[in-house]
Every structure is written in structure tokens, then in C-alpha cells.
Amino acid sequence: ARLPPEVNRVIYVRNLPFSISSEEMYELFGKYGAIRQIRIGNTKETRGTAYIVYEDIYDAKQAADHLSGFNVQNRYLIVLYYNPSRQNKKGNLKDQEEKLRAMQEKHGVDGEQHA
């Protein structure tokens, strides 16, 4: 059986309760098949989101089909397939600070006021 092109072994979940534990995540998403990895967002930007990697693409589809709109601790889950072009290419805060520091150095900004 063929699958639509957007279907992926990795699903991207939004609107998770901030308090959800890794164990609860494995319990919920593990119902649809063997999980290779779960990465739960832990920064200001990524809290409430997670990537779940299934061993089998058909299990990822079952999870997406069943858990999209599913209610967890009074929140409705948003389940998408992983799409690399939609990942935040700006990177994390540390990367941004390092980029800013490099730009300031290149252009001679020293943090002092100039007249």
C-alpha cells in the first residue's frame, strides 16, 4: 500500500502540556508502535512540542491519524509530519548569541556609545 508523500516516520507534535513527562509520552505515542526516539522541547521556543520517531512509517501514520486533535490534560494535540523545511533555521538562543558576537567582532562593535 502506498502512502502520501508527506507521511514520515517522524511526527512533530504541538500544544502538549508543558508538564507532560517522558514516560507519559512513551505511553501515549507507544500505543501505535515501536518508538525509536522522543525529543521533547525544553526551551522557551520549543516547550509544548516534541518530535517522535517511529521504527515503522505505518505506525507513525496510525499515531498521526489517531492523535491529531486528541485531548491530553485539557489540551488538543496538533500532530504534523516532520518537515525539515519548516524547522527553525535560526537555531537556538546560544547559536544566535554566538552569531551576534561574531557579527559585532567583524564590524568592530564594542558595546560603547559612539558620538
Question: Can you state the angle between helices 57-67 and 22-29, rounded to 10 degrees?
Answer: 100
The binding site for ligand ADE (CB under 6 A) comprises 12, 80, 82-83, 86-87
12/32 with CB nearer ligand ADE:
12
Minimum separation from the CB atom of position 113 to ligand ADE (A): 39
87 CB burial (10 A radius; 0-12, 13-18, 19+) = exposed
Minimum separation from the CB atom of position 88 to ligand ADE (A): 7
3-class state of residue 96 by DSSP: helix
Minimum separation from the CB atom of position 5 to ligand ADE (A): 13
